[in-house]
Amino acid sequence: MSSIQYALLSLLAREQLSGYDMKQQMNGRINFFYKINNNQLYPTLSKLESEGYIQLQSHERESYRPAKKIYKITEKGIESLKAWVVEPSEPGAWDEFLLKQYSSWLVEPEVMLAQLAERRKEHEARLGQYTAKVALLRGQEERITADHPLFSSIAVIEMGILFERGYIEWCDKMIGWLRENRI
Amino acid sequence: MSSIQYALLSLLAREQLSGYDMKQQMNGRINFFYKINNNQLYPTLSKLESEGYIQLQSHERESYRPAKKIYKITEKGIESLKAWVVEPSEPGAWDEFLLKQYSSWLVEPEVMLAQLAERRKEHEARLGQYTAKVALLRGQEERITADHPLFSSIAVIEMGILFERGYIEWCDKMIGWLRENRI
DNA sequence: ATGTGCATGTAACTCGTTACATGATTGA
DNA sequence: TCAATCATGTAACGAGTTACATGCACAT
């Protein structure tokens, strides 16, 4: 199963929406980070409905337009979303991780805390690897100018380092918020 | 054109390699961040060769194994890589951006500096939007507990904020390195 | 007249993934 | 003996993108 279905469920877990509404929310940045197109959207909605994860709530026909089909998440839908949120996504699957966080309010805080601790450890490890790698590369030449391949190699890893630091910082913040039960 | 071809060119711009070597470098994390599989690799190499971006350097047959085909980048290949590096990638195309940075050593520092200044501005703007969005969401409820959808909405955007800050910090570092012509 | 928004959906395509195939060598 | 490594490559599938189709309302 790909993430798109869960992206849709994560929206419906918050409010009832039509396919069109979901697309608006997703493609209008800031609100959401996952993009979707019609060809994934409508077949996926049909599939989710036929499998009982969502159900048609109303069918508002406004004279001229195609009837607006408002969907609602089912109990089964919520359960499958919760199960997906807690199963670990593999390293590098950034979008998927964010998407899971977006539905983390459905999951018990203790479970999320355990997850976060593990994630934090992983990223701490990666940070260590990157730092070591940079040290290694820097040691190869005494002066590395901008036209040298090593310049770019190091620059890219330095980005990775900043990225990992941000990730770890976020884990710490999140752990604090969960402990205090407020954000 | 997809990024894979450029990923291969970016490796060959540094050293001569066989398809197998490229795959090793790419899939062995830390060294590289882009993954590739055989079905993309070998046809892409053939295509790059037939179009004159790379050329076969040697064909070492080690008795029993299939002959190891070592490729070399051509002048045309380097030129197309350089052109690709300086054309702006769209926001959110994170992998592509990193990949371009990986070949930035081929490009004149002044051009890179101009690029970086623009990128920095974009991310500064995004940071502002996220900050505003968080303030807006926080204002909606006086106390937001961990089981409330807003908890997750805010947490996700807070991640975006840390991410953008990291990006801006990296731009500043990079600008400094380019100005001093050393890293 | 022309374009944009609402609201559904389909067709055709490209991109990427998983799995398979060959075949000798080396290490457990 | 069984799996892993080296080194090339293909087949079949699934995911994702771009473009199209309908059709009325409303603003420029």
What pLDDT digit, counting tens, does each position of B74-129 carry?
999 999 999 999 998 887 788 899 999 999 999 999 999 999 999 999 999 999 99
Q: At A180, which amino acid appears?
A: E
Estimate to the nearest angstrom the gap between the alpha carbon of B3 and the chain centroid. 9
Q: Which of A103, A129, A177 sits opposite B30 (nearest CB)?
A: A129
Encoded tokens for A92: 């590098």
**What pLDDT score was predicted for residue A65?**
67
Q: Mind listing the pLDDT tens digit for each residue in A33-49?
A: 888 999 999 999 999 99
Residue A163's Cβ-count burial label (10 Å; 0-12, 13-18, 19+) is buried
For residues A12 and B34, give the distance between their C-alpha atoms in angstroms, rounded to a whole number: 33
CA distance B59 to A12: 57
For residue B35 the two structure tokens come to 């993954």
Residues 6+ apart with CB under 8 A from A88: A115, A118
Region B3-88: CATH code: 1.10.10.10
Tell me: the pLDDT tens digits for A122-136?
999 999 999 999 999
Q: How many CB pairs under 8 A join A and B?
A: 121
Q: How far is CA A129 from CA A134, B21, B26, B30, in A?
A: 9, 22, 16, 8
- All residues of chain A having their beta carbon less than 8 Å from the beta carbon of residue B181 are 145-146
Asked whether the beta carbons of residue A162 and residue B170 sit closer than 8 angstroms, the reply is yes
User: Does the CB of B179 have a partner CB in chain A at under 8 Å?
Assistant: no
What confidence score (pLDDT) does residue B60 get?
A: 74
Is the minimum CB–CB distance between B152 and chain A shorter than 8 Å? yes
> Which residues from chain A sit within 8 angstroms of residue B169, using beta carbons?
162
DSSP 8-state class, residue A28: S
Question: What pLDDT score was predicted for residue A33?
Answer: 82
What pLDDT score does A61 carry?
67
Q: Which 58-77 residues of chain B touch chain A by CB within 8 A? A: none
Q: Does A177 touch chain B (CB under 8 A)?
A: yes
Nucleotide nearest to A60 (CA to C1'): C7
In tens, the pLDDT along B6-37 reads: 999 999 999 999 999 999 999 886 678 888 99
Average pLDDT of the segment spanning A105-121: 96
How do the domains of chain B map onto residue ranges? Answer: 3-88, 108-180
How far apart are the C-alpha atoms of A49 and A72, rounded to whole Å? 10
Residue with CA nearest C1' of nucleotide C12: A39
Q: What confidence tens digit (pLDDT) does each residue in A145-159 have?
A: 999 999 999 999 999
DSSP string computed for A121-164: HHHHHHHHHHHHHHHHHHHH-SS--TTSHHHHHHHHHHHHHHHH
Q: Which helix (H) or strand (E) holds A109?
A: helix A109-140
Q: Is the pLDDT of residue A1 over 60?
A: no
Q: Does residue B52 come out as left (phi exceeding 0), alpha (psi in the -120 to 50 range) or beta?
A: left
Task: For residue B138, list chain A residues with Cβ-Cβ distance below 8 A.
Answer: 183
Instruction: State CA A69 to chain mean position distance.
Output: 26
Looking at the domain A3-86, which fold is it?
Answer: Arc Repressor Mutant, subunit A (1.10.10)
